Structure 1
Amino acid sequence: MGFLTIPGLGKVHYHEYGSGDKPMLAFHGYGMTGKQFHVLKKSILTKYHVYGIDHFFHGESELESTWTEKEILEGMPREMVKAYLEEWFKIYGRQRVSLMAYSIGANLALILLEEYPDLIEEIILMAPDGLSVYKGFEFLMHKPMGKFFFRRATKSKWLAPSLLKNLKRVRFIDDSLYTIAYNEIDTEKKRQDVYYTLNIIRQLKPDTNRIAALINQHHIKCTLIFGRDDKLFPISAAKPFIAKLDDPQVHEVQLGHWLVVQALDEYLLNLPQ
Structure 2
Amino acid sequence: MLPVFKLSNGPVPLLAFHGIGQDHRAFEPLAQQLEGRYAMYAFDLFFHGSQSAPASDDVLTKQRFQEIIQAFLHQHSIERFAVIGFSMGGRFALATAEAFPQQTTELILLAPDGITISPWYRIATQSGLGRRLFRYFLQHMPLFHRFGQVFLSVGLINRSVLRFAESTLATVEQRKSVYNSWVYFRKLHFNLSELSELLNNHPVRVRFFAGYFDQVLPVSYIKPLSRRLHAYELTVLKTGHNRLIEKVAKIF
What TM-score, normalized to structure 2? 0.88
The one-letter code of the counterpart of 1:52 is A
Going from structure 1 to structure 2, the CA distance change for 1:164 and 1:258 (only over 3 Å counts) comes to farther
Contact 1:26 1:50 in 2 (8 A): yes
Distance in 1 separating the partners of 2:144 and 2:35:
37
Structure 1 unaligned regions, length at least 5: 5-11
Residue 136 (structure 1) aligned to one of 92, 100, 120: 120
Contact 1:161 1:185 in 2 (8 A): no
Contact 1:27 1:34 in 2 (8 A): yes
Distance in 1 separating the partners of 2:85 and 2:159:
21
The one-letter code of the counterpart of 2:71 is E
Distance in 2 separating the partners of 1:90 and 1:63:
24
Question: How far off its partner does 1:63 sit?
Answer: 3.3
Question: How far off its partner does 1:94 sit?
Answer: 4.2
Counterpart for residue 172 of structure 1:
158
User: Residue 49 of structure 1: SS of its match in structure 2?
Assistant: strand
**After superposition, what is the alpha-carbon deviation per residue over 1:142-167, rounded to whole angstroms, capped at 9, x for unaligned?**
15653332111122142334455566
Query: Does residue 123 of structure 1 match 2:135?
Result: no
Residue 26 (structure 2) aligned to one of 13, 29, 36: 36
Contact 1:36 1:260 in 2 (8 A): no
Residue 220 (structure 1) aligned to one of 204, 210, 229: 204
**After superposition, what is the alpha-carbon deviation per residue over 1:80-123, rounded to whole angstroms, capped at 9, x for unaligned?**
11022111123111400110001111111111111110000101
Contact 1:173 1:232 in 2 (8 A): no
The one-letter code of the counterpart of 1:14 is V
What TM-score, normalized to structure 1? 0.82
Going from structure 1 to structure 2, the CA distance change for 1:90 and 1:264 (only over 3 Å counts) comes to closer
Contact 1:97 1:119 in 2 (8 A): yes
User: Residue 19 of structure 2: SS of its match in structure 1?
Assistant: coil
Contact 2:21 2:177 in 1 (8 A): no
Instruction: Report the identity percentage.
Output: 22
Going from structure 1 to structure 2, the CA distance change for 1:262 and 1:106 (only over 3 Å counts) comes to closer
Distance in 1 separating the partners of 2:150 and 2:81:
42
The one-letter code of the counterpart of 1:174 is S
Over aligned residues, Cα RMSD in angstroms? 2.4
The one-letter code of the counterpart of 1:34 is H
- Count of aligned residue pairs for this structure pair: 250
Residue 59 (structure 1) aligned to one of 49, 54, 74: 49
Distance in 2 separating the partners of 1:251 and 1:53:
24
Query: Does residue 77 of structure 1 match 2:61?
Result: yes
Distance in 2 separating the partners of 1:126 and 1:166:
30
Residue 245 (structure 1) aligned to one of 220, 229, 234: 229
Residue 27 (structure 1) aligned to one of 17, 34, 38: 17
**After superposition, what is the alpha-carbon deviation per residue over 1:167-208, rounded to whole angstroms, capped at 9, x for unaligned?**
677662428x82x64344233332122110111100111222
Counterpart for residue 39 of structure 2:
49
Question: How far off its partner does 1:141 sit?
Answer: 1.1
Going from structure 1 to structure 2, the CA distance change for 1:85 and 1:250 (only over 3 Å counts) comes to same
User: Residue 174 of structure 1: SS of its match in structure 2?
Assistant: helix
Residue 172 (structure 2) aligned to one of 157, 178, 188: 188
Going from structure 1 to structure 2, the CA distance change for 1:193 and 1:162 (only over 3 Å counts) comes to farther
Contact 2:46 2:54 in 1 (8 A): no
